[in-house]
């Protein structure tokens, strides 16, 4: 090794020792007689001191060291005159006897410090420098720890880690595929896996019994804070299990991670029916760090001459506790926020429960004090509360009220990053109507098993068929999802039929899986956790970007390596890709 110790290691117990450290120059302070230089590596920071006793050429050399120079220094550990209690090495410093510049460095384009002056674009372009900063590196260390604990937990439970291929054919998870042209098979393409779904099911047919993989998946979707075109899943599949077994094992994994990585006892993970999640929160991934459940008002508000309520399929609201003091301006601003096209509300009704006990609504013309008192009772509102009400088509208005609820939760400080509220959402519908294509789509994916007791509804009421499918949600983020699978060729064909596949199409695309089902497929099921999302929740971040070493920006670009990029004409020809000029 070039060094005897790391830059985070030395303390009072090393006094008098001669040591050699390697690292980057964090900063230097020339105080005339004395020069201090902080040298940094992954492990920490150590102070070097050059003073009047230091050899003159060495002192000269120390003055030439710029920020981020890579150096090797040898010296003696002494006790510091003024100690820094904030860092582990703060009681000592090194009197330098030799110094070697291993590599000079250009002045970095932004400060390599916890608080940097670099904007997002610039830091993305020089990601390797951004990764030198403690907050970013710490996220990756945290991610590493999580990955190790995942492996430990699953290994103990006899899961086998198997790598599945990356050049495959489409696995439908509801997104667009990234495709790769095949040089050897002109005009044909591989798809990158949206998930290893079909392979893990085939591993069950092969008798692997318990599989896992921490695996890259690829989905060509529009990007958001919690989406990247390539992301990582903790992907698992098990044979001879019920939904209950899977929930228990992966609740165990979640608890294990919280305990070992964050020292938090997560406790029981509650369960909620999908139908209740939609009714009470308007979302299949409710943030249950706070209550503010939906209150349905159809029974008490209709028939009083207020046409907006009378004509609405659903009148539903939330109780914003302690918000009666909101001024007219604040309420208007909230309404404007709701009217943005992303949410698309046409108007919001409100009712204040004033501190003096009076009730004042924006629809006083139609509802008298007695009726408003009744509203307050239904909302369990107290003096000082503000009832916020939306009306419209049931599905749409629930979605809108979900946005309002989350916004109010944020405004009221109810969404603390250090509080963790997990839950399982269970009994998802098997199918979901898609307006655009005018047909049903699989809500999870086409391999998900309907609940046996609902199979008879497939022909008559497809939308009412429930699936053995479940999601793990933490703080309003979908962390994982899975299902019990179909393992019978007949049922799988029926499912494809309901999804609008002709038998030929189904055979062409998924014949290999259905064929496999005819060779002794065990009952099986599984789940996949979004590893980046889980890591970002552990790190207290809003975006998954900073738990990924080299993420892409919002346009799916890596601005550091400048990708995607065009390829040479010759390469196009070789791949038999036609260009349109």
Q: Considering the complex, state which of residue 409 and residue 482 has its C-beta at the smaller distance from ligand ASP.
A: 482
Beta strands in 356-443 (DSSP E): 359-361, 386-392, 422-426, 431-434, 439-442
324 binds ligand ASP (CB under 6 A): no
195 binds ligand ASP (CB under 6 A): yes
Q: Considering the complex, state which of residue 24 and residue 510 has its C-beta at the smaller distance from ligand ASP.
A: 510
**CB of residue 470 to ligand ASP, shortest distance in Å:** 9
Q: Considering the complex, state which of residue 196 and residue 462 has its C-beta at the smaller distance from ligand ASP.
A: 196
**CB of residue 225 to ligand ASP, shortest distance in Å:** 19
CA quadruple 110, 114, 115, 121: dihedral sign: positive
Nearest of 454, 455, 432 to residue 443 by alpha carbon: 432
**CB of residue 280 to ligand ASP, shortest distance in Å:** 24
450 binds ligand ASP (CB under 6 A): no
Find the binder of ligand ASP among 201, 483, 492, 493 (CB under 6 A).
Answer: 483
Q: Considering the complex, state which of residue 212 and residue 326 has its C-beta at the smaller distance from ligand ASP.
A: 212
DSSP 475: T
Q: Considering the complex, state which of residue 94 and residue 423 has its C-beta at the smaller distance from ligand ASP.
A: 423
Neighbours of 525 (CB within 10 A): 27
75 binds ligand ASP (CB under 6 A): no
| Choices 107-115, 158-166, 253-261, 523-531 (CB under 6 A): range interacting with ligand ASP | 523-531
Question: Token pair for residue 427?
Answer: 């009994």
- Which helix (H) or strand (E) segment holds residue 51: the answer is none
**CB of residue 219 to ligand ASP, shortest distance in Å:** 9
Q: Considering the complex, state which of residue 234 and residue 406 has its C-beta at the smaller distance from ligand ASP.
A: 234
Window 250-269: contact mask with ligand ASP (x via CB under 6 A): --------------------
Please state whether beta strands 422-426 and 271-273 pair in parallel, antiparallel, or not at all (unpaired).
parallel
Q: Considering the complex, state which of residue 36 and residue 178 has its C-beta at the smaller distance from ligand ASP.
A: 178
**CB of residue 109 to ligand ASP, shortest distance in Å:** 38
Please report which residue ranges of 421-563 form alpha helices under DSSP H: 489-498, 503-516, 531-539
- Write down the residue that tokens 């260009």 correspond to: 579
481 binds ligand ASP (CB under 6 A): yes
229 binds ligand ASP (CB under 6 A): no
**CB of residue 210 to ligand ASP, shortest distance in Å:** 13
Find the binder of ligand ASP among 297, 316, 527, 534 (CB under 6 A).
Answer: 527
526 binds ligand ASP (CB under 6 A): yes
Count of residues that bind ligand ASP according to CB under 6 A? 9
Nearest of 170, 232, 245 to residue 524 by alpha carbon: 245
Please state whether beta strands 359-361 and 386-392 pair in parallel, antiparallel, or not at all (unpaired).
unpaired
| Choices 280-288, 479-487, 507-515, 552-560 (CB under 6 A): range interacting with ligand ASP | 479-487
- Interaction residues for ligand ASP, span 157-176 (CB under 6 A): 173
Exposure b/e, 74-91, CB count within 10 A at least 16 = b: bbebeeeeeeeeeebbbb
Q: Considering the complex, state which of residue 153 and residue 218 has its C-beta at the smaller distance from ligand ASP.
A: 218
With contact defined as beta carbons under 8 Å apart, do 485 and 447 qualify? Answer: yes
**CB of residue 449 to ligand ASP, shortest distance in Å:** 11
Q: Considering the complex, state which of residue 449 and residue 475 has its C-beta at the smaller distance from ligand ASP.
A: 449
Cβ neighbours of residue 141 closer than 8 Å, sequence gap 6 or more? none
With contact defined as beta carbons under 8 Å apart, do 318 and 404 qualify? Answer: yes
- Write down the residue that tokens 């250009």 correspond to: 106
| Choices 15-23, 53-61, 396-404, 521-529 (CB under 6 A): range interacting with ligand ASP | 521-529
361 binds ligand ASP (CB under 6 A): no
Nearest of 65, 58, 54, 135 to residue 104 by alpha carbon: 65
193 binds ligand ASP (CB under 6 A): no
Cβ neighbours of residue 314 closer than 8 Å, sequence gap 6 or more? 296, 298, 391, 392, 393, 394, 397, 398
Find the binder of ligand ASP among 46, 54, 139, 197 (CB under 6 A).
Answer: 197
Find the binder of ligand ASP among 49, 334, 528, 547 (CB under 6 A).
Answer: 528
**CB of residue 194 to ligand ASP, shortest distance in Å:** 7
Q: Considering the complex, state which of residue 195 and residue 361 has its C-beta at the smaller distance from ligand ASP.
A: 195
Cβ neighbours of residue 415 closer than 8 Å, sequence gap 6 or more? 287, 289, 290, 406, 409, 475, 476
Cβ neighbours of residue 289 closer than 8 Å, sequence gap 6 or more? 409, 414, 415, 416, 419, 421, 475, 476
Beta strands in 57-159 (DSSP E): 70-79, 92-103
Residues making contact with ligand ASP (CB under 6 A): 173, 195, 197, 481-483, 526-528
């Amino acid at each position: 090794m070039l060094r005897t110790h790391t830059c985070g290691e030395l303390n009072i117990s090393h006094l008098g020792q001669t040591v050699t450290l390697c690292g980057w120059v964090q900063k230097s302070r020339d105080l005339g007689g004395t020069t201090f230089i902080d040298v940094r590596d992954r492990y920490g920071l150590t102070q070097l001191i050059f003073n009047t006793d230091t050899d003159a050429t060495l002192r000269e050399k120390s003055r030439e060291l710029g920020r981020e120079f890579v150096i090797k220094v040898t010296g003696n550990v002494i006790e510091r005159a003024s100690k820094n209690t904030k860092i582990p090495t703060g009681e000592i410093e090194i009197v330098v006897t030799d110094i070697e510049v291993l590599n000079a460095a250009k002045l970095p384009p932004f400060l390599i410090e916890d608080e940097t002056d670099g904007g997002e674009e610039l830091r993305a372009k020089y990601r390797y420098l951004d990764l030198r900063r403690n907050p970013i590196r710490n996220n990756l260390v945290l991610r590493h720890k999580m990955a190790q604990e995942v492996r430990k937990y699953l290994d103990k439970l006899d899961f086998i880690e198997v790598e599945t291929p990356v050049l495959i054919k489409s696995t439908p998870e509801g997104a667009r595929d990234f495709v790769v042209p095949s040089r050897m098979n002109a005009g044909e393409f591989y798809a990158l896996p949206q998930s290893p779904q079909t392979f893990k099911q085939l591993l069950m047919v092969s008798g692997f019994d318990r599989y896992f993989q921490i695996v890259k998946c690829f989905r060509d979707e529009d990007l958001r804070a919690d989406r990247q075109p390539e992301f990582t899943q903790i992907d698992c599949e098990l044979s001879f299990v019920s939904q209950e077994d899977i929930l228990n094992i992966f609740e165990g994994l979640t608890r294990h991670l919280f305990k070992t990585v964050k020292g938090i006892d997560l406790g029981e993970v509650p369960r909620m029916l999908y139908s209740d999640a939609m009714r009470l929160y308007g979302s299949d991934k409710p943030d249950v760090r706070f209550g503010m459940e939906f209150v349905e008002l159809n029974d008490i508000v209709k028939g009083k001459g207020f046409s907006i309520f009378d004509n609405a399929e659903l009148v539903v609201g939330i109780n914003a506790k302690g918000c009666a003091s909101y001024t007219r301006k604040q309420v208007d601003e909230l309404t404007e926020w709701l009217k943005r096209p992303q949410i698309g509300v046409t108007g919001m009704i409100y009712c204040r429960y004033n501190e003096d006990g009076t009730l004042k609504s924006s629809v006083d013309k139609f509802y008298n004090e007695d009726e408003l008192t009744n509203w307050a009772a239904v909302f369990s509102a107290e003096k000082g509360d503000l009832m916020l009400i939306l009306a419209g088509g049931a599905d749409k208005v629930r979605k809108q009220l979900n946005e309002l609820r989350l916004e109010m939760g944020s405004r009221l400080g109810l969404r603390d990053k250090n509080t963790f509220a997990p839950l399982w959402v269970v009994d998802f519908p098997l199918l979901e109507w898609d307006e655009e294509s005018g047909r049903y789509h699989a809500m999870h994916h086409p391999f998900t098993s309907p609940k046996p007791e609902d199979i008879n509804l497939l022909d008559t009421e497809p939308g009412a068929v429930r699936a053995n499918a479940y999601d793990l949600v933490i703080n309003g983020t979908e962390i994982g999802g899975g299902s019990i699978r179909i393992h019978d060729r007949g049922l799988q064909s029926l499912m494809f039929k309901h999804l609008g596949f002709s038998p030929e199409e189904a055979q062409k695309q998924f014949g290999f899986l259905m064929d496999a089902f005819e060779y002794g497929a065990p009952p099986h099921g599984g789940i996949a956790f979004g590893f980046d999302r889980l890591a970002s929740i552990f790190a207290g971040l809003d975006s998954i970007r900073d738990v990924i070493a080299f993420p892409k920006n919002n346009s799916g670009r890596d601005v550091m390596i400048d990708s995607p990029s065009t390829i040479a004409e010759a390469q196009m020809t070789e791949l038999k890709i036609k260009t349109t000029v």
